[in-house]
């Protein structure tokens, strides 16, 4: 399954400013969060990238994209009707093709030779189906992520047949329906913020958007229920990616992402020395109090 296009969602009111923030990447270069995410997609040989933005944000996003700005497509989400609706806004860009979807408030650091997006695309190509990246996540973090349940794919160490998808489950709900054999106790497979999705997703989203319009309510269309329906329609896998996700929309998220980038990059020793100096100074101040 050839994937040429990527859709990055960044229109949510609480999310729209985050991709514009700057960090120092693994090579020691100052880049925007958006630029780092775009680089992740391009390293997986994505050819065309669409960013779903809040109306009027196109110019600042184009500036934040730097050298990649000329190659981007922008689609506004004119109404804040939910995460699933944001993905649906890119339907004309996707044009019936499978696509890589990434969120605009996560950064990814691979622990393998391939980047996280490239790992995901390799899995989708090998199995010709939708694949979502997941990460084993402690149950106290379940309020922040969608989670999946399923079974190992025979002969693999990191692939699962998705049977259930639940958005931000409670620990009790997760224990009852999302236990996956082989995971550590108290851990569940939660979304990584990165998916390869088939055209069926846009079909399901179309049905959901139609229901919103008919209902005339202010309800929002989320993505997890759509993915749960996808699991009932066609083969849908989860890949436990070799790497870590770093949400920047949580408390200290930007700081944690910056530290992770720095400690995995060329300036690791310099950063470690600075951290050790800070800790030593803190201990000395504490001892004097």
Measured CA to CA in angstroms, residue 97 lies from 3, 51, 71 at distances of 8, 16, 19
Q: Is 148 helix (H, G, I), strand (E, B) or coil?
A: strand
Please tell me the predicted confidence (pLDDT) of residue 226: 96
| CA 171/CA 188 separation, integer angstroms | 10
Question: Tokens 């996956």 — which residue?
Answer: 180
Scored b (16 or more CB within 10 A) or e, 174-208 reads beeebebeeeeeebbbbbbbbbbbbebbbbbbeeb
46 token code pair: 């994505």
* pTM of the shown model: 0.93
Neighbours of 77 (CB within 10 A): 24
- At residue 139, the 3 state secondary structure works out as helix
- How high is the pLDDT of residue 216? 64
pLDDT values of the chain reduced to their tens digit, one per residue, 289 residues: 899 999 999 999 888 999 999 999 999 999 999 999 999 999 999 999 999 999 999 999 999 999 889 889 999 999 989 999 999 999 999 999 999 999 999 999 999 999 999 999 999 999 999 999 999 999 999 999 999 999 999 999 899 999 999 999 999 999 999 999 888 889 999 999 999 999 999 999 999 988 877 666 678 899 999 999 999 999 999 999 999 999 999 999 999 999 999 999 999 999 999 999 999 998 888 888 7
Closest by CA position to 108, among listed 90, 88, 134, 84: 134
Count CA atoms closer than 13 A to 161's CA, side-chain side. 10
The residues spanned by each domain of the chain are 5-288
Which residues fall within 8 angstroms of residue 9, CB to CB, at 6 or more apart?
15, 51, 52, 83, 86, 87, 101, 102, 103, 104
Closest CA to 243 of 258, 261, 227, 255: 261
Q: Which two tokens stand for residue 126?
A: 């090998």
Contact 161, 155 (CB under 8 A): no
* Ramachandran assignment for 128, one of left (phi > 0), alpha (psi -120 to 50 degrees), beta (any other): left
CATH architecture of 5-288: Alpha-Beta Complex (3.90)
Tens digit of each residue's pLDDT (9 = 90 or more) over 110-136? 999 999 999 999 999 999 999 999 999
CB 260 within 8 Å of CB 179: no
Bridge partner list, 195: 101, 132
């Amino acid at each position: 399954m050839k994937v040429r296009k990527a859709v990055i969602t960044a229109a949510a009111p609480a999310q729209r400013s985050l991709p514009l923030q700057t960090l120092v990447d693994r090579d020691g270069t100052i880049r925007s969060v958006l630029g780092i995410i775009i680089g992740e997609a391009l390293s997986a040989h994505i050819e065309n990238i669409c960013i779903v933005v809040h109306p009027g944000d196109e110019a600042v996003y184009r500036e934040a994209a730097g050298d990649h700005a000329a190659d981007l497509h922008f689609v506004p989400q004119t109404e804040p009707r939910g995460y699933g609706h944001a993905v649906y806004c890119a339907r004309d860009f996707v044009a019936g093709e499978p696509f890589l979807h990434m969120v605009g408030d996560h950064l990814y650091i691979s622990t393998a030779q391939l980047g996280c997006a490239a790992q995901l695309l390799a899995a989708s190509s090998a199995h010709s189906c939708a694949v979502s990246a997941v990460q084993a996540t402690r149950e106290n973090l379940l309020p922040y992520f969608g989670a999946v349940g399923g079974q190992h794919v025979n002969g693999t160490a990191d692939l699962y047949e998705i049977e259930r998808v639940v958005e931000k489950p409670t620990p009790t709900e997760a224990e009852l329906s999302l236990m996956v054999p082989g995971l550590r106790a108290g851990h569940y497979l939660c979304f990584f913020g990165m998916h390869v999705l088939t055209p069926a997703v846009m079909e399901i989203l179309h049905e959901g958007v139609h229901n919103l319009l008919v209902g005339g309510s202010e309800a929002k269309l989320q993505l997890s229920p759509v993915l749960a329906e996808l699991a009932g329609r066609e083969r849908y896998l989860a890949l436990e990616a070799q790497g870590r996700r770093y949400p920047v929309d949580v408390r200290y998220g930007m700081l944690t992402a910056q530290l992770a980038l720095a400690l995995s990059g060329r300036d690791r020793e310099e950063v470690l020395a600075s951290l050790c100096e800070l800790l030593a100074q803190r201990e000395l101040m504490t001892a004097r109090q």
